[in-house]
Amino acid sequence: MTLRPGQTASFSKTVSEWDIYSIAGATGDMNPLHVNAQQAAQSRFGERIAHSILPAGLISTVLGMYLPGPGTIYLHQSLDFTAPVKIGDTVTATVTVLDVIDPDKGVYRLETVCANQRGETVADGEAVVMYK
């Protein structure tokens, strides 16, 4: 498949408590903001929030499964995390092709954005991938 600027794909997931504990267990990140309701209630967020790797992982799902798809190699990702993701939020990761960097090697620059069910951006950035 040859990618063209403007092509887009998305993936959505509703964040559960299981997702939070799965990431905490897989990474060892037991930050109380993620796993301790009492301590998180005292934070600026007022409740537990998801690890930032969760929306980043949803972007990876789009890249590896939909656009470009299986066989994609992640070369670079920049992300700004602009709002917290909370349990019960539905986050949609959207990837849009911006440029073809190297058509011979199949290297592309992509816009990567995650938004919640209210349309608020929770993560925003760019990725460079190789796909052939």
Residue of 31, 20, 33, 22 whose CA lies nearest to 87:
20
The stretches of the chain forming alpha helices (DSSP H) are: 17-27, 32-35, 37-41, 53-65
The structural domain count of the chain equals 1
Measured distance CA(49)–CA(132) in Å, rounded: 37
Over residues 54-113, the pLDDT tens digits come to 999 999 999 999 999 999 999 999 999 999 999 999 999 999 999 999 999 999 999 999
Q: Is residue 124 part of a domain?
A: yes
Per the structure, the complete domain to which residue 62 belongs is given by 8-15+50-130
Statement: residue 2 has pLDDT above 90: no
- Contact between 97 and 65 under an 8 Å Cβ cutoff? The reply is no
Q: Is residue 2 part of a domain?
A: no
The CATH number of whichever domain residue 99 belongs to comes to 3.10.129.10
Statement: residue 132 has pLDDT above 90: no
